[in-house]
C-alpha cells in the first residue's frame, strides 16, 4: 500500500529525513518509535502533504500513485488520514459541520452524491459511541475548549467517520491519562481491518501495549536504524534511546 524509498525531506529548508525506506501493506500496523527530534512527526506530515514539508530526494508511492503529485486534500480523498499530535481548535465551526464538509468533499472526489442529513446523523451517532463521545461535543466547535484526551478522541472519531485506507497516528498517546488512553486505543483497535493499514508514531512503548503493532521501526536522525516485531518496542523501553545512539554509531 505504502512504499517509501530513500526518502529525504526538509521542513522549511532544514533537512530532517535522511533516507527512509519503509513498506506498509494493507492490514498491517507499523509503529515508528524514536527519540525527540528523530523525524517521526515529520514523516507523518510529509506523507499527509503538509505545506513546507518537502521531499528533496526519494519517493513515496501509495497505491501505485506518486504522492508528491497530490495536494493534502487529494491525499485525504485517496484514503490517507493523519491524526494530529496537536489537534487544531477551530472556534466557529462545529464538529458536525466540519465532518459533513469532509465527507461530502470526499464523496464529490469519488463522484458520489452528497450524504443525506439523516444518514449523516446516523453515522456520526454510531461512530461517536465508539469513542464514547457525548452528543453535545458533536455540536461544539472543533476541539474548542476540549481537554487533551477529548481532542485525541475527536481525532479517532474523525478517523472512524472518514474510514481511511492508511491511518497515520502522530503521538496519539501524548497528553492522555490511562483512561483516555484506553478509550482511544479501543477506538483504534476497532478500526483495524484487513484493508486498512496504520502507522503509529509514538515516543513511548505504553501505547503499544494497547495497540499491538505487527512491526516496530526505530527512527534516529532521520533514518530507520532498526526494525523488528513488537518485542523491539519492549527492548527499547528497557534499554532506552541511548541504546539507539550506540546502534547508529555502529552502523
Partner 1 sequence: MIAIDQTQSWLDQHSLTQFSEPAWLSAQRAQALSRFEKIGLPGVRDEQWRYTNLRKLKSQALSVSSPANLGIELSSSNFVRLVFVDGHFDADHSSSIDQSGVHLSSLKHALDNQADLLETHFGASLPQDAHGFTELNTAFSQDGFVLHVAKNTAVDQIIEVVFVSQSKQSLSHTRNLIIAEANSQCTVVERHIGVPDAVYLSNTVTEVIAGDNAIVDHYKIQQESDEAFHMGAAFVKQANGSQVSNHNVALSGLVTRNDIVSDLLGGGAHMEMNGLVLGQGRQHIDNHTQVNHLVANCTSDEYYKSILDDQSRSVFRGRIIVAQDAQQTNADQQNNNLLLSDKAEADTKPQLEIYADDVKCSHGATVGQLDQTSLFYLKSRGINAGSARALLTFAFANEVIDRIKVDSIKNELTQLIAGELLSGLEDLV
Contacting positions for partner 1 (CB under 8 A): 48-51, 71-73, 75-77, 81-82, 84, 87-88, 90-94, 96-106, 109, 117, 138-139, 141, 158, 162
Task: Name the residue with cell 461517536.
Answer: 128
Residue 21 or 141 having the CB closest to partner 1: 141
In degrees rounded to 5, what are phi and psi of residue 78? -80, -5
Nearest distance from C-beta of residue 141 to partner 1, angstroms: 8
Residue 139 or 182 having the CB closest to partner 1: 139
Query: C-alpha grid cell for residue 155?
Result: 481525532
Residue 31 or 76 having the CB closest to partner 1: 76
Nearest distance from C-beta of residue 93 to partner 1, angstroms: 4
CA dist 59 and 4 (Å) reads 6
Nearest distance from C-beta of residue 118 to partner 1, angstroms: 10
Residues making up the chain, counted from first to last: 251
Residue 166 or 224 having the CB closest to partner 1: 166
Nearest distance from C-beta of residue 32 to partner 1, angstroms: 18
Residue 19 or 91 having the CB closest to partner 1: 91
**Helix (H/G/I), strand (E/B), else coil: 151:** helix
Residue 171 or 215 having the CB closest to partner 1: 171
CA dist 232 and 108 (Å) reads 42
88: which residues sit within 8 A by CB, 6+ positions away?
A: 142, 143
* CB of 74 closer than 8 Å to CB of 106: no
What's the alpha-carbon Rg for the chain, to the nearest Å?
A: 18
Cα–Cα distances (Å) from 79 to 162, 165, 247, in that order, read 8, 5, 35
Nearest distance from C-beta of residue 175 to partner 1, angstroms: 17
Nearest distance from C-beta of residue 72 to partner 1, angstroms: 4
CA dist 249 and 247 (Å) reads 5
Amino acid at each position: 500500500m505504502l512504499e517509501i524509498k530513500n526518502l529525504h525531506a526538509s521542513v522549511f529548508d532544514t533537512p530532517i529525513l535522511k533516507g527512509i525506506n519503509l513498506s506498509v501493506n494493507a492490514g498491517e500496523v507499523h509503529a515508528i518509535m524514536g527519540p525527540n527530534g528523530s523525524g517521526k512527526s515529520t514523516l507523518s506530515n510529509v506523507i499527509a502533504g503538509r505545506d513546507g514539508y518537502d521531499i528533496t530526494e526519494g519517493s513515496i508511492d501509495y497505491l501505485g500513485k506518486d504522492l508528491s503529485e497530490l495536494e493534502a486534500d487529494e491525499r485525504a480523498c485517496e484514503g490517507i488520514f493523519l491524526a494530529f499530535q496537536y489537534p487544531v481548535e477551530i472556534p466557529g465551526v462545529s464538529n458536525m459541520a466540519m465532518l459533513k464538509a469532509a465527507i461530502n468533499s470526499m464523496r464529490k472526489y469519488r463522484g458520489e452524491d452528497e450524504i443525506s442529513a439523516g444518514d449523516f446523523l446516523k453515522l456520526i451517532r454510531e461512530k461517536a459511541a465508539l469513542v464514547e463521545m457525548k452528543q453535545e461535543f458533536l455540536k461544539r466547535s472543533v476541539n474548542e475548549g476540549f481537554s487533551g484526551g477529548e481532542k485525541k478522541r475527536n481525532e479517532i472519531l474523525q478517523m472512524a467517520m472518514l474510514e481511511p485506507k492508511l491511518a497515520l497516528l502522530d503521538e496519539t498517546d501524548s497528553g492522555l491519562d490511562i483512561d483516555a488512553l484506553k478509550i482511544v486505543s479501543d477506538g483504534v483497535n476497532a478500526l483495524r481491518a484487513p484493508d486498512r493499514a496504520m502507522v503509529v508514531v509514538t515516543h513511548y512503548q505504553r501505547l503499544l501495549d494497547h495497540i499491538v503493532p505487527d512491526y516496530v521501526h526505530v527512527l534516529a536522525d532521520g533514518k530507520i536504524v532498526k526494525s523488528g516485531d513488537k518485542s523491539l518496542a519492549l527492548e527499547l523501553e528497557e534499554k532506552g534511546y541511548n541504546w539507539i545512539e550506540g546502534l547508529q554509531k555502529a552502523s
